[in-house]
Structure 1
Amino acid sequence: MKLMKWSVIAMAVAAGTSQMALASSQSESEGFVEGSSLTIFNRNLYMNRDFRDDAAQSYREEWGHGFIGTFESGFTQGTIGVGVDAIGLLGVKLDTGRGRQGNGIFPAVQGDDHVADDYSQAGAAIKFRVSNTVLKYGTQFVALPVFSTDDSRLLPETAEGGLITSSEIDGLELNAGRFTALSAQRESSHDALGLDEIIFVGGTYAFSDNLSTSLYYSDLKDAFEKYYGNVNYNMDLGGEQSLAFDFNIYQSEYESEYVNTADDEDNTIWSLAGTYAFDAHKFTVAYQQSHGGVDGQGYIYSDDGGGTVWLANSVQYSDFNGEDEKSWQARYDINMASYGVPGLSFMTRYVSGYDISTPTGTGEEREWDVEAKYVVQEGAAKDLSLRLRHAKYWSDSDYAPVNGTDLTDLRLIVEYPLSIL
């Protein structure tokens, strides 16, 4: 942890020698009411999974509508600005039934035989701002590489705790936080995942418009410590062409009690992705490698947020994060605006993982994803989006007990943001 703290301080000092301090955001505060906003984000999700080799329950199908309400006040004027944010979540079941539930969308009732007709959650946070530094304490969404609330189902996870975000130097953002509760995506409880305590510190520095780096440290009590690093570089090749590289790495040090082994276990996992873009097209190739772990599990997350897996080969179903796993990806994207249909885009990718160490041998897995998305560009339905996601996943018998059986995953997602204030 000392190394992490000194690395962040050194980064800040280096930035301070070459960058001027930013103008104070607090000095430009509009006021508590004048700077307020209220939005209701509507999400309609249909999801089915066909586990072809699962004799117990091969087919799972759920459909629901979610309302994600967020109120963000402005900051009061003065040297110290004060504000309040609030979150209200409501999920409503539209269809599923006994024997078809199980995609992690609705809370289970009466064991796993039925799911609730609806579920909800609400929370608030108070925030303070001095210059360009904000302290926020309470219920909130978090999106940092070592602590990230998941938003892959009907409603997102929420976390309870404090987060400091500071941008006093141009190009440098520092973060530090402590959280003591984490909700699940399908539960109403504020601490359904049983988070005891996580603390973290880190930051991101942009050397230029083309090059940025990140460095973070986290400590999940009685579980593990993590270090995360990132380098992102973009190169303009001219003629509507560009080349981008993104490198991510996690070092996790697990406690023996957490992984149920006699000795502490470590895992290092990294990914490198390169993207070549020209006109409407993007071609991406990526390689990811995991080293270490236990019983087929390499990089472990979710206790520190279901979205805490910022890696190139974390895709629709699998994260390709098994013990000692190596994986590669090939991806293609096209934006149909260049062909006269603005708002329409397509994506397909294929990921193959191999050399996975498991208790029974060496495992393999593969996934093929296809996605189509359309966003309405104008009119009364502006910003309404429709997205179809389809994934096919395969794993051999050695890895299936760890990451599940072969399956097909289909999701139809309709989203519409409604601005009230």
Structure 2
Amino acid sequence: MLQSKKLTLAVLINAALVSTAFASEQSESKGFVEDANGSVLFRTGYLNRDKKDGLTNDTSSAAQTAIINLDSGFTKGIVGFGAGIIGDASFKLGENKNTGNQMIPVHNDGSAYDHWARGGAYVKARVSNTTAKYGTQVSEIPVIASNTARLTPEYYTGLYIESNEIKDLTLIGGKFTKNQWSNDISSDQQGLDSAIFWGAKYKFNDQVNASYYGVDVKDKLERHYANANYNFAVPNDANVTLDAVAYNTQWEAGAATGSHTTDNLADRENTIWGVSATYNKDAHNVMLAYQDNAGNTGYDYAYNADGLQSIYVPNSYLSDFNGNDEKSVGLQYNYNFKNHGLPGLNWTSAFVYGWDIDVADRNNRTEIIDQAEEHEFFNQVKYTVQSGAFKDASLRLRYSYLRSSSSYNNQKVNNSEGIGSTNEWRIWLDIPVKLF
């Protein structure tokens, strides 16, 4: 099956290459130096989880980092070549006795690193509108997405190919062979052998978009993702966006354990899907969403080198509402203070309720002992500077109130996969600096 996927991807990319329908990006290249970009993001991050499940300890982390991104342009000619560097250098703020949550690396005795640095380089080549990049990179592919919600990003190492030869169609494919979490020192600390991925995104018109992506993580899992999006205008200068998304995952016998309700890991399978409707008018944005899990396990992700942010579903906040057989409904409201002389200030609140969660007996994973529930109240205020020397600098304050049934708390703690009932605070200060 894997060989057929590789062949299909190769055929698609080859077809794109011979069907160019618009101008070539490479023909417009200005040069290796002329098109270069360099930036540093100075980030101060604080994350505190006040655990309420009575089973796990509180965690609190605070640190400072500088994330650097140096990216060359492409040389001129039929084939353009380039290179880049991505990495971060960080230090802790305070003792950080109870650090956790993928924020700060720790020594074998559990103590936090005082300072640390990570990153790597990459090379790239471009023909027409097709680009290949090999080396260290941050992945935004929905089935193997890097975590960018911590102090530093999650990195992958490998080959990424993107082709835009046909107007409105993007094809991607490649292979990653190393995975480094945000709090990993080693570039291959997650033990990834290989993750082969592929996908396509197509813009039918200004209103309709659709995409599909897949990944095969060797000896771990196979995952597929599909999304469709429809945006249309409604009276009174408003618009509505309808969105549908789904993941299907099948795990292999070598996969990391999770919330499975069967003793045979190779039999684990999950389909999680969600639909949402968003109404947007001037400063107001309201989203109503429904999400549903099916299969013999919840939607487990991240622990098989498959990306700590591979959860592009509508009811994903502190909790992802991805328990076994869980259904959830969510309501989100966002307000932009632009009409009050405060452009750049946004407030978001959301409430999500999840129910019908199958909780398995600890000693007999095939026996369901409870139908649990969870609910979350989410609030976030973010201000982004609009102009001046600190343009695009932002301060974000986020608070989540998450509670779940005691039986579900027990299951998540026993399987080392969940947050449990928690009050969480996050404070993020980002100051981007353009170097060239």
CA distance in 2 between partners of 1:300 and 1:324 (Å): 16
Conserved? CA contact 2:219–2:252, under 8 Å = yes
Of 313, 336, 358, which aligns to 1:311? 313
CA separation of 1:374/1:407 partners in 2, compared to 1, >3 Å: closer, same or farther? same
TM-score where L is the length of structure 2 = 0.90
**After the TM superposition, which parts of structure 1 deviate over 6 Å for at least 4 consecutive aligned residues?**
2-16
**8 Å CA contact retained: 2:65, 2:152:** yes
How has the CA–CA distance of structure 1 residues 14 and 324 changed in structure 2, closer, same or farther, with 3 Å as cutoff? farther
Q: In structure 2, what is the Cα distance between the partners aligned to 1:159 and 1:367? A: 31
> Residue 239 and residue 6 in structure 1: after superposition, are their counterparts in 2 closer, same or farther (change >3 A)?
farther
Match of 1:337 in 2: 338
The one of 228, 232, 235 aligned to 2:232: 235
**Deviations 1:218-245 (CA, angstroms, capped at 9, x unpaired):** 1011111111111011112253300001
Is the alpha carbon distance of 1:154 and 1:175 closer, same or farther for their aligned partners in structure 2, counting shifts above 3 Å? same
- Give the 3-state SS of the residue equivalent to 1:383 in structure 2: coil
Task: Indicate how the Cα distance of structure 1 residues 237 and 13 shifts in structure 2: closer, same or farther if over 3 A, else same.
Answer: farther
- Is contact 2:9-2:173 (8 Å) kept? no
Q: What CA distance in whole angstroms lies between the structure 1 residues aligned with 2:406 and 2:429?
A: 36
2:210 aligned with 1:207 = no
Do the aligned residues in 1 keep the contact of 2:284 with 2:335 (CA within 8 Å)? yes
Partner of residue 180 from structure 1, selected from 177, 180, 184: 177
* Structure 1 residue matching 2:249: 3-state secondary structure: strand
Query: In structure 2, do the counterparts of structure 1 residues 313 and 168 end up closer, same or farther at CA, with 3 Å as the change threshold?
Result: same
> Helix, strand or coil: the match of 1:338?
helix
Q: What do the CA deviations read for 1:262-319 (whole angstroms, capped 9, x no partner)?
A: 352211110111101111101100011011134xx3343442111111111121x211
State the partner residue of 1:65. 64
Tell me which of 284, 287, 304 is aligned to 1:284.
287
SS in 1 for 2:255: helix
Q: Is the Cα–Cα contact under 8 Å of residues 45 and 413 in structure 1 kept in the other structure?
A: yes
SS of match in other structure, 2:244: strand
Identical amino acids, percent of aligned pairs = 36
What does residue 415 of structure 2 align with?
A: none
CA distance in 2, matches of 1:140, 1:60: 29
Distance in structure 2 (CA, Å) of the matches to 1:335 and 1:395: 31
Aligned residue for 1:87?
A: 86
Please list, as runs of the form range in 1=range in 2, the aligned pairs for 1:5-404 lying within 5 A after superposition.
21-54=21-54, 57=57, 59-98=58-97, 100-112=98-110, 114-258=111-255, 261-262=263-264, 263-294=266-297, 297-302=298-303, 303-315=305-317, 317-359=318-360, 360-401=369-410, 402=412, 403-404=418-419
Please tell me the residue identity of whatever aligns with 1:307: Q
Q: Which residue of 2 aligns with 1:409?
A: 424
C-alpha offsets along residues 184-206 of structure 1, whole Å, 9 cap, x if unaligned? 10122101211111001111000
Q: How many residues matched?
A: 414
For the aligned residue pairs, the C-alpha RMSD in angstroms reads 2.3
Residue 91 of structure 1 and its aligned partner are, at CA, apart by: 1.6
C-alpha distance in structure 2 between counterparts of 1:14 and 1:116, whole Å: 50
Unaligned runs of 5+ in 1: none
Q: Which amino acid aligns with 1:231?
A: A
8 Å CA contact 1:157–1:185 kept in 2: the answer is yes
Instruction: Note if contact 1:61-1:96 (Cα within 8 Å) is conserved in structure 2.
Output: no
How far is the alpha carbon of 1:117 from its aligned partner?
0.7
Residues 304 and 379 from structure 1, CA distance in 2 versus in 1: closer, same or farther, beyond 3 angstroms?
Answer: same
Contact 1:8 1:203 survives alignment (8 Å):
no
Write the deviation string for residues 316-352 of structure 1: whole angstroms up to 9, x where unpaired.
Answer: x211111111111000001111222111110000111
Please tell me the residue identity of whatever aligns with 2:285.
Answer: K
Alpha-carbon distance, 1:29 to partner: 0.2
**Contact kept? 1:4, 1:217, Cα under 8 Å:** no
User: Relative to structure 1, is the Cα distance of residues 278 and 349 closer, same or farther in structure 2, using a 3 angstrom cutoff?
Assistant: same
Residues 54 and 405 in structure 1, CA contact (< 8 A), matched pair in contact too: no
Of residues 2-11 and 23-32 in structure 1, the stretch that sits farther from structure 2 once superposed is 2-11
- Alpha carbons of structure 1 residues 124 and 40: separation in structure 2 relative to 1, 3 Å: same
Alpha carbons of structure 1 residues 76 and 44: separation in structure 2 relative to 1, 3 Å:
same
In structure 2, C-alpha distance between the alignment counterparts of 1:231 and 1:255, rounded to whole Å:
28
Instruction: Report the residue type matching 2:371 in the other structure.
Output: T
Amino acid aligned to 1:409: E
Alpha carbons of structure 1 residues 404 and 121: separation in structure 2 relative to 1, 3 Å: closer
Deviations 1:156-198 (A, max 9, x none): 0110000000000110000001000010101221012111110
**1:8·1:215 contact (CA, 8 Å) conserved in 2?**
no
State the TM-score, normalized to the length of structure 1: 0.93
Contact kept? 2:53, 2:406, Cα under 8 Å: no
**Alpha-carbon deviation of 1:20?**
6.9
